[in-house]
């Protein structure tokens, strides 16, 4: 057993659920079938609870992932044995049960099996007979390990609504008896849109967490990159837009360690130490952006990746090509308009044409209802009005932003801005 004094069991199991939870769920679903998805999720969760109950006293196992896998297996088999219909299974299935019981947990964690099963699980979640909302919620929960609360924040909806979507999705999978398999090439296009959307949301949740004490969840960002790389490596799935999404993730992930200072304070882009940016991830982003340039179709991911590249490749803030960034936002709005995209464009307008034009761009957003419930919108307004010398108005907006901010790092950042303006 490992030394419990070095790492908190709760932190270890939280990391394991993020990194290994999806893999364990995929491996068990491959054994039991998609109609048993709810059971699989339940036993993995119960295995996690048992780890939290026992590890503080017995110590963290040398192979925590294998411990959780075996615990989940045992729990699943206990449930199946208690079911009356289990006794009516054929001899072949009973033999399969014995093989499963005797196989070591490490075998299920082999890299090639993990890759195949996790990818299959992702395709199950995005079966075309599931609703688009159900697909995304299920993928974020089962494959990406996000909690219902985190998914609700990503969807800007309630946790109860997400819980209902997940229940309906599992019921639908059971009714349809969906196969646990990678679909034929002809079926891939109908599933890729939703899959990429889920991975995009997963990365964003890691880049700026919606809940908890940490602003940045690097584990989620790297898991999103890993899953997207799985897709890009699949011969039938590799497409320019997948490489564009990978490029976007790599460029943004390159700045993760520089987004906060040693005290955990949030740093704006121009305040970050660019020497801390990950040059290897920037290089990978550049390579994937080049691969994304193949073909004639431009997706929103292409444009967002190009915007991220403009920041990542600039020598410093003064040399950032904001005019090009504004042009890219104009194209992005034409292709895929949203209030958030328009808000981000307003920042670019402010950098190119000044704060007054930036405010005008914010005011021109037609559907601002969602934005006005978000702290970042008020922080942007506060920044523009402060630049115009309208201090009282800026303070009002900063205080609104502080009231809406969910994370300690965000509230502290806004409090510092209020303090600066109040002097």
| Burial class of residue 392 in the structure, from the number of CB atoms within 10 Å of its CB (0-12 exposed, 13-18 middle, 19+ buried) | exposed
Same domain, 333 and 350: yes
What does DSSP assign to residue 388?
T
Same domain, 377 and 414: yes
Same domain, 378 and 407: yes
pLDDT at site 333: 96
Domain assignment present for 392: yes
* DSSP sequence for 217-244: -HHHHHHHHHHHHHHHHSTTT--HHHHH
CB 257 within 8 A of CB 215: no
Domain assignment present for 406: yes
CB 310 within 8 A of CB 321: yes
Q: How many domains does the chain contain in total?
A: 2
Tell me which of 313, 341, 364 is where a domain ends: 364
Same domain, 377 and 423: yes
Same domain, 353 and 381: no
Cα separation, 416 vs 389, in Å, equals: 18
Domain assignment present for 187: no
pLDDT at site 101: 45
Domain assignment present for 403: yes
Same domain, 358 and 395: no
CB 244 within 8 A of CB 305: yes
Task: Provide the β-strand partners of residue 2.
Answer: 60
Report in angstroms the alpha-carbon separations of 173 from 33, 177, 319: 10, 6, 52
Domain that holds residue 399: 373-423
Same domain, 326 and 347: yes
Which residue stretches of the chain have pLDDT < 70? 1-19, 83-116, 154, 156, 185, 190, 209-215, 236-237
* DSSP sequence for 127-166: -TTS-HHHHHHHIIIIIT---HHHHHHHHTS-HHHHHHHH
pLDDT at site 14: 61
- Secondary structure percentages of the chain, helix, strand, coil, to 5: 75, 0, 25
CB 284 within 8 A of CB 229: no
Q: What is the pTM of this model?
A: 0.73
pLDDT at site 107: 43
- Residue 415, both tokens: 């409090």
CA 243 to chain centre: 17
Cα separation, 410 vs 248, in Å, equals: 23
Same domain, 358 and 391: no
Angle at the Cα of 414 from the Cα atoms of 408 and 415, rounded to 5 degrees: 85
Each residue of 373-409: pLDDT tens digit?
999 999 999 999 999 999 999 999 999 999 999 888 8
Q: How many CA atoms lie within 13 A of 165 on its CB side?
A: 25
pLDDT at site 17: 63
Domain assignment present for 195: no
Domain assignment present for 306: no
Same domain, 377 and 360: no
Domain assignment present for 239: no
Cα separation, 162 vs 171, in Å, equals: 14
Domain assignment present for 158: no
Closest CA to 417 of 380, 388, 371: 380
Each residue of 19-74: pLDDT tens digit?
677 778 888 887 787 888 888 888 888 887 888 788 877 877 878 878 888 888 88
């Amino acid at each position: 057993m490992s030394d419990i004094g070095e790492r908190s069991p709760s932190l270890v199991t939280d990391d394991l659920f993020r990194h290994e939870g999806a893999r364990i769920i995929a491996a068990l679903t491959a054994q039991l079938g998609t109609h048993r998805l709810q059971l699989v999720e339940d036993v993995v969760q119960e295995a996690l609870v048992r780890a939290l109950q026992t590890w503080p006293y017995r110590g963290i196992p040398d192979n925590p992932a294998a411990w959780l896998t075996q615990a989940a297996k045992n729990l699943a088999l206990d449930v199946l044995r208690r079911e009356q219909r289990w006794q009516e299974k054929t001899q072949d299935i009973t033999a399969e049960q014995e093989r499963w019981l005797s196989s070591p947990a490490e075998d299920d964690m082999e890299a090639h099996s993990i890759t195949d099963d996790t990818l299959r699980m992702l395709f199950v979640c995005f079966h075309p007979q599931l609703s688009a909302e159900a697909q995304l919620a299920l993928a974020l929960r089962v494959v990406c390990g996000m909690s219902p609360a985190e998914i609700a924040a990503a969807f800007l909806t309630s946790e109860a609504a997400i819980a209902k979507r997940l229940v309906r999705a599992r019921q639908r999978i059971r009714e349809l008896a969906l196969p646990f398999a990678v679909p034929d090439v002809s079926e891939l296009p109908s599933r890729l849109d939703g899959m990429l959307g889920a991975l995009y949301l997963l990365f964003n949740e890691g880049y700026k967490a919606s809940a908890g004490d940490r602003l940045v969840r690097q584990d989620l960002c790297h898991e999103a990159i890993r899953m997207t790389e799985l897709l890009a490596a699949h011969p039938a799935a590799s497409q320019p837009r997948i490489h564009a999404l990978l490029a976007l993730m790599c460029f943004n992930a390159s700045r993760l360690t520089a987004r906060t200072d040693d005290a955990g304070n949030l740093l704006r882009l121009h305040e970050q130490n660019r020497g801390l940016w990950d040059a290897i991830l920037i290089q990978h982003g550049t390579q994937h952006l080049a691969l994304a340039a193949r073909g004639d179709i431009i997706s929103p991911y292409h444009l967002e990746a190009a915007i991220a590249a403009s920041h990542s490749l600039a020598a410093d803030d003064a040399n950032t090509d904001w005019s090009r960034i504004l042009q890219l936002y104009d194209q992005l709005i034409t292709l895929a308009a949203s209030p958030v995209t328009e808000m981000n464009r307003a920042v670019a307008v402010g950098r190119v044409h000044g704060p007054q034009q930036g405010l005008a761009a914010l005011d021109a957003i037609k559907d601002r209802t969602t934005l006005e419930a978000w702290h970042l919108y008020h922080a942007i307004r506060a920044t523009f009005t402060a630049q115009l010398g309208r201090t009282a108005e800026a303070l009002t907006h900063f205080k609104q932003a502080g009231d809406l901010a969910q994370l300690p790092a965000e509230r502290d950042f806004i409090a510092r801005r209020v303090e600066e303006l109040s002097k």
